[in-house]
């Protein structure tokens, strides 16, 4: 007998009336007509059943610190950086764990069950690393949490010399941090930026780890560290294991140069993570008008066959006072900023918060197929585009076949004579036949 049978679900690829059979924490069958006995049978009522949301770029050591020690009054990157500097000496292990765990509760409620978080490794105490390693263990039954060793203050910019942060970064990897990070555009010179990329990729190759760098988070079109990251990926045989996060300078680059760059990135199988909520608020701040959007060239990268994910980056921290772990909000913003409004492009935006970031993280057993983990979300929407439009309610969230969060359908009751008694803002967009 099955543990769980979901009936009458719609899948993100458009299949309707689908049954999903679950046993021992895995999906054992996905088909259109399945009659089997199960301990529990759920009628999905035609709602969208999707694999869980995945966030490929987050900062869990800073999340929910909004207001500590004071509020970012201007909402700018620079005030955010100085605020983080004020907050760092006041951080404690327990407070870091408490805030991260509270965020993970939000994530589960939003069907966000895999997160890659960068963690600052420039602190010789590695306080945030210790705290997030504890969080990773605590949330493991519900969330795949992947940590990136992020030299926030610059790999080669240590107060005692270029070795200081490199040493703390290696110690963080020794403690079990999963991915090698970097921030080449923040090193002192272009040459140091390129050197940091080379050193970090070599370290990742030696240790068999993945790489994910904050790369070219700048409006300077000459910030071209993605070129070096692509080159080192190819040279060291790291294809499919390296991610360039942000890449905002690409927005401002010369088209002629980008035409050479994008095919090289495709050849090296470099992943890209764009962070639309943060890129649209922090970039273009030195412009008068016209103001650049500062988001990387998402449609062009996708058209070249490059895997692009949208990340959340920040939630209620010194840099961004909004956010709730809702990856549909991220997809909604990405869709607008990149003008991805065709029917196909809107569905790509849904993939950019589900299957694409799953590839960035290298998640095993992800998807709605026989053999995959029984991790999925039933949304109060009939298809991926409606899910983005409504930032749809997560009706039921499953991990390894177990219900870990659920909510009631969102319906507004109306009190107007001659009008319906309620609305859920659904709209059947099936074309009228003629
Ligand atoms: Zn970031």
Q: Using pLDDT thresholds of 50, 70 and 90, give the confidence band for residue 434.
A: very low
pLDDT of residue 430: 61
Is residue 305's pLDDT more than 70?
yes
* Catalytic, out of 29, 134, 164, 217: 217
Q: What is the pLDDT of residue 74?
A: 87
For 191-219, write each residue's pLDDT tens digit.
999 999 999 999 999 999 999 999 999 99
Q: How far is the CA of 321 from the centre of ligand 1 (A)?
A: 15
**Rounded to whole angstroms, how far apart are CA atoms 20 and 48?**
12
217 is known as an active-site residue: yes
**Higher pLDDT pick, 266 / 36:** 266
Does 238 score more than 70 pLDDT?
A: yes
Of residues 95, 91, 98, 153, the one with CA closest to residue 121: 153
Distance 13 CA to ligand 1 centre (A): 30
| CA 352/CA 355 separation, integer angstroms | 7
- Split at pLDDT 50, 70, 90, the class of 76 is confident
User: Would you state the pLDDT for residue 116?
Assistant: 98
Name 90's bridge partners.
none
Q: What pLDDT, on a 0 to 100 scale, did the predictor assign at position 82?
A: 86
CA–centroid distance, residue 94 to ligand 1 (Å): 23
Separation of 117 CA from ligand 1 center, angstroms? 8
Asked if 237 contacts 265 with a C-beta cutoff of 8 angstroms, the reply is no
- Over range 141-147, report the average pLDDT: 98
**428 C-alpha to center of ligand 1: Å?**
38
Task: Please answer whether residues 399 and 26 qualify as being in contact, where contact means their C-beta atoms are separated by less than 8 angstroms.
Answer: no
Average pLDDT, the chain: 96
Cα 58 to middle of ligand 1, angstroms: 6
pLDDT (tens digit per residue) in 395-420: 999 999 999 999 999 999 999 999 99
Does the pLDDT value for residue 429 go beyond 70?
A: no
> Which pLDDT tens digit goes with each residue over 386-395?
999 999 999 9
Q: Average pLDDT of 48-76?
A: 94
pLDDT bin (cut points 50, 70, 90) of residue 81 is confident
When pLDDT is cut at 50, 70 and 90, the band that residue 78 belongs to is: confident
Burial track 58-73 (b if 16+ CB lie within 10 A, e otherwise):
bbbbbbbbbebeeebe
């Amino acid at each position: 007998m099955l543990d769980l049978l979901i009936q009458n679900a719609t899948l993100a690829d458009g299949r309707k009336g689908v049954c999903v059979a679950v046993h021992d924490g895995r999906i054992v069958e996905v088909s259109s007509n399945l009659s089997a006995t199960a301990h529990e049978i759920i009628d999905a009522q035609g709602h969208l059943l999707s694999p869980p949301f995945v966030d490929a770029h987050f900062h869990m050591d800073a999340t929910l610190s909004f207001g500590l020690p004071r509020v970012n009054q201007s909402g700018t990157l620079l005030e955010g950086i100085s605020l983080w500097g004020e907050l760092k000496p006041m951080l404690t292990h327990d407070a870091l764990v408490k805030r991260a765990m509270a965020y993970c509760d939000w994530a589960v409620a939003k069907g966000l069950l895999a997160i890659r978080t960068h963690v600052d490794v420039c602190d010789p105490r590695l306080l945030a690393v210790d705290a997030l390693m504890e969080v990773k263990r605590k949330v493991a039954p519900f969330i795949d949490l992947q940590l990136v060793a992020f030299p926030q203050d610059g790999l080669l910019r240590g107060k005692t010399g270029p070795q200081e942060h490199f040493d703390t970064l290696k110690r963080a990897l020794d403690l079990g941090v999963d991915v090698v990070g970097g921030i080449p555009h923040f090193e002192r010179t272009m040459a140091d930026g390129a050197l940091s990329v080379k050193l970090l990729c070599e370290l990742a190759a030696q240790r068999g780890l993945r790489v994910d760098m904050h790369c070219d988070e700048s409006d300077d079109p000459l910030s071209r560290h993605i070129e070096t990251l692509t080159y080192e990926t190819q040279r060291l045989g790291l294809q499919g294991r390296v991610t360039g996060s942000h890449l905002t300078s690409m927005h401002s680059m010369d088209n002629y140069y980008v035409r050479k760059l994008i095919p090289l990135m495709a050849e090296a199988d470099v992943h890209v993570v764009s962070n639309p909520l943060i890129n649209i608020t922090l970039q273009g701040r030195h412009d008068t008008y016209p103001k650049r959007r500062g988001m990387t060239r998402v449609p062009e990268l996708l058209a070249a066959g490059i895997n692009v994910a949208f990340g959340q980056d920040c939630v209620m921290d010194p840099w961004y006072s909004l956010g709730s772990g809702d990856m549909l909000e991220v997809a909604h913003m990405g869709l607008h900023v990149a003008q991805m409004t065709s029917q196909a492009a809107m569905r790509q935006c849904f993939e950019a918060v589900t299957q694409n970031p799953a590839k960035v993280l290298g998640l095993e057993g992800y998807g709605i197929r026989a053999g995959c983990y029984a991790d999925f979300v039933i949304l109060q929407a009939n298809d991926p585009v409606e899910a983005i439009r409504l930032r749809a309610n997560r009706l039921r969230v499953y991990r390894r076949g177990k219900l870990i969060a659920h909510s009631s359908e969102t319906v507004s009751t109306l009190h107007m004579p001659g009008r319906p008694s309620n609305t859920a803002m659904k709209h059947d967009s099936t074309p009228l036949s003629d």
